[in-house]
Amino acid sequence: MLQIQPASKPPHSPYPILNLGFRIFFSGGALFAIVTMLLWSAIFMGKTALNVTQINPFYWHAHEMLYGYAMAIIAGFLLTAVKTWTGIMMPYGYRLAGIFGFWLIARICWLILGLGTDSIGFWLFAALLADILFMLTNAGAVIKAVMAVKQYKQMGIISKLVLLTLGNGLYYWGTLTAEQDYQRIGIYLGLYLVMGIVLTIGRRVMPFFIERGLSYDSDTEVKVNNSAVLDGLSLLFFLIFMLADIFYPNPYLVSLSAGVVALVNGIRLAGWYQHRLWQKPLLWSLFIAFLGMCLSFVLFALQPWSVFRQLGISHSIAVHALTLSGIGLMTVAMMTRVSLGHTGRSIHAPPKTVTAMFVFMILAFVFRVLLPLVAFEHYTLWITLAQTAWIGCFVLFCFSYLPVLAKPRVDGLFG
């Protein structure tokens, strides 16, 4: 007898913002970027009761920028992109809310620690538990989907997620035991793993975005140059640089590896260049972000040497160049595009505010990285202006994109 199978029930979530990971994590990450920078500004000026003998304020800032903001955007991107890569539905609805809830609880705990509290141990353990649960559930969802379809080419992304969980754990262990070295390793391991993810995803999507974006309104199909040799060299020397800078800061090795990473990615970026990309903010923002990353590796190559340190080129300057370009501008540029495309809106007609968002983040780079090199005597002013520009960027993002992220797709589809 013929049996007719009922159609599978379509996915449904209680609110559109829980349809896919990018919605809730981009929204939460953008709001958190404002709140945490406001608090960091207060901490930097000594206006909070943070116990600096137990929690290093600079590591507090670095941890929340990396494992708070950056991990939120990475989670939102991967919990969306893996669905496209594998064809397997990623967490949505209350399951997605649970993953996000772990992230949110950890962030609230760290905000309380930043404000100052007598119960440091309680809030630190609560943050540890919530953060590790967030990272494990996020990585677990990605790993489950990738392994289900045997997409072993995604193992690089998976390994970085696993190592990020380890790095976060090392930071917590160092904070709980007052071991500064574990904190440092946890922070820098996290930074370079995040940058490894950015470089990997950037290599995948930037050529595609440029080709699609410029072919859309052109009579001819646009193609950009790629090289497997450059890809391999970038990966190899970035790995050498990461290990050298964290565990074996030999100036020759750091300079050589960082210089090669800058050169290789500069050549790669030149192969992607098309003069018409300056007409499209969603493309030139990605291009400038990648260019800023190349500049940051030049700074890493120069900073070990005293002659350049005398000119103000420090490790901190290089780190902030890398984070503001590779995390700040790159994530905002990706979020503005992904939020439109995955809600059924045209990526060729972004909100008019996007140019101002990108300009604010570029100004943050100029204030935090370049101006201290030429007028260090105004360092506090440059820091304040950089913080203000960062906040301005995300205020505009929230104003323009939170309504988009909170509403159903315009084409009526789930997502």
DSSP sequence for 228-272? HHHHHHHHHHHHHHHHHHHH---HHHHHHHHHHHHHHHHHHHHHH
pLDDT tens per residue across span 239-253: 999 999 999 989 999
What confidence score (pLDDT) does residue 7 get?
Answer: 44
Range of the domain at 67: 14-198
What is the rounded CA–CA span in Å between residue 161 and residue 165? 6
Structure tokens at 250: 């030999």
8 A C-beta contact, residue 135 and residue 160? no
| For residues 362-369, average pLDDT | 98
Q: Would you say residue 332 lies in a domain? A: no
What confidence score (pLDDT) does residue 5 get?
Answer: 38
pLDDT tens per residue across span 152-202: 888 888 999 999 999 999 999 999 999 999 999 999 999 999 999 998 888
Closest Cα partner for 36 from 57, 65, 58, 59? 65
How large is the greatest C-alpha to C-alpha distance in the chain, in angstroms?
86
Q: Which amino acid is at 203?
A: R
Closest Cα partner for 135 from 172, 185, 176? 172
Closest Cα partner for 296 from 272, 328, 273? 328
pLDDT of 70 over the 60 cut: yes
Q: Would you say residue 327 lies in a domain? A: no
| For residues 214-237, average pLDDT | 85
| For residues 88-115, average pLDDT | 97
- Residue 348: partners with Cβ closer than 8 Å, 6 or more residues away: 213, 216, 217, 280
150: left (phi over 0), alpha (psi -120 to 50) or beta: left
Q: Would you say residue 89 lies in a domain? A: yes
| For residues 324-346, average pLDDT | 95
What confidence score (pLDDT) does residue 1 get?
Answer: 37
| For residues 256-263, average pLDDT | 97
Q: Would you say residue 7 lies in a domain? A: no
| For residues 198-217, average pLDDT | 85
What confidence score (pLDDT) does residue 211 get?
Answer: 87
Q: How many CB atoms lie within 10 A of CB 352?
A: 9
Band (8; pLDDT cuts 50, 70, 90) = low
Q: Would you say residue 250 lies in a domain? A: no
Q: How far apart are the first and last CA of the chain?
A: 38
What confidence score (pLDDT) does residue 335 get?
Answer: 96
Closest Cα partner for 103 from 72, 58, 149, 79? 72
- Owner of token pair 């955007």: 73
8 A C-beta contact, residue 288 and residue 324? no
Q: Would you say residue 57 lies in a domain? A: yes
Give 3-state DSSP helix, strand, coil % of the chain, rounded to 5: 80, 0, 20
8 A C-beta contact, residue 56 and residue 178? no
pLDDT tens per residue across span 176-185: 999 999 999 9
Q: Would you say residue 98 lies in a domain? A: yes
Long-range contacts from 247-252, C-beta under 8 angstroms, 24+ separation: 247/185, 249/304, 251/304, 251/305
174: left (phi over 0), alpha (psi -120 to 50) or beta: alpha
Element containing residue 93 per DSSP (H, E)? helix 93-115
| For residues 106-127, average pLDDT | 96
Q: How many CB atoms lie within 10 A of CB 113?
A: 23
412: left (phi over 0), alpha (psi -120 to 50) or beta: left
Length of the chain: 415
What confidence score (pLDDT) does residue 200 get?
Answer: 86
Structure tokens at 233: 């060299």
pTM for the structure as a whole: 0.94
Count of structural domains, the chain: 1
pLDDT of 74 over the 60 cut: yes
8 A C-beta contact, residue 51 and residue 309? no
Q: Would you say residue 45 lies in a domain? A: yes
Band (227; pLDDT cuts 50, 70, 90) = confident
What is the rounded CA–CA span in Å between residue 207 and residue 222? 10
Closest Cα partner for 285 from 180, 205, 178, 192? 205
What is the rounded CA–CA span in Å between residue 406 and residue 279? 29
* 99: exposed, middle or buried (Cβ count in 10 Å: 0-12, 13-18, 19+): buried
Give the mean pLDDT of the chain: 93
Closest Cα partner for 158 from 74, 89, 45? 74
- Residue 267: partners with Cβ closer than 8 Å, 6 or more residues away: 230
